Amino acid sequence: MKTIERMKTFLVLAECGSYVETAKRLYCSQPTISNHIQQLEKQFQASLFHRSDRKVQLTEQGFIVQEHIKQVISLLQDASTKVQHSLLQHEQILSIYISSYISECYLPDILARYHQSFPKQLLEIHTYCYEDLQRSLLVDGKAYFAFLPIYPEDDQLYAQYDATFLFEEELPLIVPADHPWARRKLLYTRDLHRETILIPQSKYICQYIKQQMQLNHIKVRYLQMSTFNMIKQSIKVGLGVSFLPYEVVKKELDTGELVALPISSLQIKRSNGLVIRKNTQLRAEEQTFCHEVQAYFSSLDKVAYPVPLRINEDVCTRSGS
């Protein structure tokens, strides 16, 4: 186990080139990082890094070790995933990985519908924010498939997973009912100048919102909040305005606590979907669950959810082994 920890430390240090940053990412002390590297260098009888005041860089021998350590970590992750799937299959448990947003807004209805058709199927539901779900897919290797927002900019994820769309949604501008804009039928981009925009911690949606502001030459102040629900509560007390999915604020829009406003020439949209590990065949029960989710979103309003899921039958079938 200590050898694996040292190898993971080595990979993080090779990536970021800083003992300080490596210690932050791994939640340990700098002496621990130094000790791990020293033990590896002792094991390989070679210096693995060039050390300077500014940056730490791999030596020629370090690059060799890096290539092989990546292979070892990948093999261990693959073995762990296969073992877990073997155990789940033996227990006939279906393990579902899903983003917190989709889980909160849609999963109760999906599960109610699924349970009516398959009452005996055992389910394990794992919900995460986007970054933690990405880590479960890429680093921990826990899941072969997952339901989550689709961000094409996430090159690392889509290098290993194929994506199919479930639905697309608009994120309208949400303001409190007592906001000066609340009675307007339409806003213009110039109205947003100097406004405080509340944004979630999700890296990619933040990038997209900021990009749209820059393209429209809108200068705003950004305040970051942890979740959509936290943003919603902050809007209610007047801390700012935000772009939020309709489903997050549906109740408050119905009661009049919050107001959704269109903006001329500006739309913030996001797609949500299913990702499946490349060259992976899903088991029969996994395939069935995916089709049930497809059917659920296909039954919703086509205007609100215009992009149905298209499952590749060759990819989404697995033998009964």
User: Domain containing 254 — which CATH number?
Assistant: 3.40.190.10
Domain boundary among 77, 102, 137: 77
Are 101 and 185 contained in the same domain?
A: no
Instruction: For residue 177, give the nearest of 260, 258, 262 by alpha carbon.
Output: 258
pLDDT exceeds 90 at position 75: no
Are 182 and 255 contained in the same domain?
A: yes
Domain count, the chain: 3
pLDDT exceeds 50 at position 318: no
pLDDT exceeds 80 at position 137: yes
Residues 268/208, Cβ–Cβ less than 8 Å: yes
Q: Which one-letter DSSP state was computed for residue 160?
A: T
In a domain, 44, yes or no: yes
In a domain, 112, yes or no: yes
Instruction: Please report where in the chains the tokens 């939020």 appear, as a residue.
Output: 244
The neighbouring-strand residues paired with 98 are 127, 147
CA distance 123 to 253: 33
Q: Which domain holds residue 57?
A: 2-77
State the chain's mean pLDDT as an integer.
Answer: 87
In a domain, 82, yes or no: no
Are 158 and 282 contained in the same domain?
A: yes
pLDDT band at 77 (very low <50, low <70, confident <90, very high): confident
CA distance 25 to 173: 34
Are 222 and 259 contained in the same domain?
A: yes
Rounded average pLDDT over 204-227: 92
pLDDT exceeds 50 at position 319: no
Are 193 and 240 contained in the same domain?
A: yes
User: Which of 25-29, 67-71, 190-194, 316-320 is the least confident region?
Assistant: 316-320
pLDDT at 152: 86
First-to-last C-alpha distance (Å) of the chain = 30
Rounded average pLDDT over 106-112: 95
In a domain, 242, yes or no: yes
pLDDT exceeds 90 at position 191: yes
**Residue with more model confidence, 86 or 67:** 67
The neighbouring-strand residues paired with 170 are 269
